[in-house]
Structure 1
Amino acid sequence: MDSVGHVDERNDVSDVLICGSHGAPCATQLMVWCRPRGVFVHDAGVGLGEGGVSGLKLLDAYLIPGATVDGNSARISDGRDMYENGTVSRANQAARLMGISEGMAVREAAQMLLDRNPAFRAPARRQIRVHADELGSVYALDTVKYADSRIAGGVLCMGSHAARAMADYVEDMDYRLAGVITNDAGPSKDQSGIAGLAQLDGIGMPAAAVSCATARVGDARSTYFQGRISALNETAASIGIEKGQPATEAARLMLRRASGTK
């Protein structure tokens, strides 16, 4: 199509779109609603501050493969010429993961995006050490999926829930934690938001949840710095953790128990 403005209800997630518009964010944002398999726009000479290709970053934020077409290889506002004669001048990270690279014929690159399933992109494992002393460390991870062996031996504070899936993840870890503190998520129907706490008694791990009224769901630092305990398992209770206690105090009790300090 000659303009990104022609994207409409006929387009969907099965489409690769080749649009004759420039590649600035004001153009690429017009198509993200249909979550296409891939997008090609014109690089408009790239220009000052790389404005003609700057919309590729916006597509990357939505995990949409995007590339720009070299202005010397195809006419702007001519989608057919871009497809038949264009070559790729820039590709975002999502497109690179699919095998798209600069200099590739647009026709070939578009077919690759049409034929291949989206590439897996491993999540960034954002871990923040929020406390460290002679007893050990406390780590803030917004989701348990950010966990790896770097937090071994520490207390894991999470922004996510304390449901059974959380306990499954913890049980599958091939390293030991001093304890787990997470959000009670409501605690939702049938106390499902805290159902994983008792499960962790089975491996002797102290586990507790903070009230969602005291800490933001999905924000591990809020769990640690603002949260107050609303639920806990028997292992946590045996080391002195109580309801209403600040998460900071509960975490220290977990570290003390793991270190063997009285």
Structure 2
Amino acid sequence: MMLKGSVTELTEESRGAHVIVGSHGGAPSGLRALKCGVASLICHDAGIGLDEAGVAALGVLEAHGIPTAAVDHDTARIGDPADMMARGILSRVNAPAAELGLSAGMPVTDAAALLEAGAAARAGKRAVPPDGEEFRRLYIEAEVEQGGIPTLITIVDSASSVQTDDDGAIVVTGSHGGLPGNLSEKALKARPLLVAFSDAGIGIEEAGVRRLPILAEVGVAAVCVDVGSARIGDGLSTYQTGILSEVNSPAERLGARVGMPLKEFISHVIAEAAARQTARGAAPETISKGNV
């Protein structure tokens, strides 16, 4: 089995491989795996969550005959394929995987052996979806409180799309709040003012929110929304309906509280920034990187 901390690490070189990824099983993960031509995929169920978004990849890949299974978030750390292999237990399987003998409740070690034995003949012969980005990056204007200032928020489906250009910005992701590959250095490639993730059901050893204390160490305000409140893998859903479930200390200082809608928290941050600008005697202006 090929082990990858994130589905975004898959490339054309992954074609025909049997893969375990630490990523959630959202639809974008399925599209990425499909584009790279994997023979089979084991992903993380990320708490399953709203609209069962955490396992949507199983349906995406089932439509192309690719065996796919998801690991129960309470049995292995999200983001950590080695842990998933060592102690993960399947929670969901799609029809092609079931045909090979996989079932919910099966250890990943057994599932991997069945996939390698049964799917080998079909490896690398799948249809590839049309060209296009499976992970969106877009900018939307935030909804602000009275007295707030127009502000563009960066919305990304995957935290891998966050760039150093996002330093000082407000960034909302569809990604889980765990550590890809269980590596602290992969927490985030930028230093935004504020970043939001999904809590992926939090899961075993609170793996779904492990980025938050790491980002606190470098002064980045980071929050997670309840996976039941927004579709994991969908940054726009995180912003529109996400409810805060975990916040780090820099986010608390900005006013974040568990149970608060993410949209409300962001609006509060923007209003406070406008008030500070006014107090300095400057006319409120559009928030951009670094001036909050």
Taking structure 2 as the reference length, what is the TM-score of the superposition? 0.46
The yes-or-no answer on 1:172 pairing with 2:189 is: yes
The yes-or-no answer on 1:127 pairing with 2:137 is: yes
**Equivalent residue number for residue 60 of structure 1:** 128
* SS in structure 1 at match of 2:128: helix
**Equivalent residue number for residue 140 of structure 1:** 155
Of 202, 222, 227, which aligns to 1:212?
227
Per-residue CA deviations over 1:4-53 (Å, capped at 9, x if unaligned) read xxxxxxxx949xxxxxxxxxxxxxx79997233xx7xxxxxxxxxxxxxx
- Residue identity (%): 22
Instruction: Return the alpha-carbon distance in structure 2 between the equivalents of residues 180 and 172 of structure 1.
Output: 12
> Deviation of residue 197 (structure 1)?
0.5
**Equivalent residue number for residue 249 of structure 1:** 264
**Equivalent residue number for residue 46 of structure 1:** none
> Deviation of residue 134 (structure 1)?
2.8
The yes-or-no answer on 1:239 pairing with 2:254 is: yes
**Equivalent residue number for residue 70 of structure 1:** none
| Higher Rg of the two aligned structures | 1
How does 1:25-36 map onto structure 2 within 5 Å?
34-36=122-124
How does 1:188-227 map onto structure 2 within 5 Å?
188-227=203-242
The one-letter amino acid of 2:160's match is K
For the 8 Å contact 2:135–2:158, the answer to whether it is kept is no
For the 8 Å contact 1:131–1:138, the answer to whether it is kept is yes
How does 1:83-102 map onto structure 2 within 5 Å?
none
Summarize the Cα distance change of 1:151–1:124 in structure 2 as closer, same or farther, 3 Å threshold.
farther
Number of residue pairs matched by the alignment: 157
Summarize the Cα distance change of 1:167–1:140 in structure 2 as closer, same or farther, 3 Å threshold.
farther
The one-letter amino acid of 1:209's match is C
For the 8 Å contact 1:181–1:207, the answer to whether it is kept is yes
Per-residue CA deviations over 1:206-237 (Å, capped at 9, x if unaligned) read 11000011111111111000000000001111
Gaps of 5+ in 1: 1-11, 15-28, 40-57, 63-92, 94-121
Summarize the Cα distance change of 1:123–1:147 in structure 2 as closer, same or farther, 3 Å threshold.
farther
Summarize the Cα distance change of 1:204–1:143 in structure 2 as closer, same or farther, 3 Å threshold.
same
Summarize the Cα distance change of 1:227–1:35 in structure 2 as closer, same or farther, 3 Å threshold.
same
Summarize the Cα distance change of 1:138–1:189 in structure 2 as closer, same or farther, 3 Å threshold.
same
**Larger RCO (alpha carbons 8 Å, 6+ apart):** 2
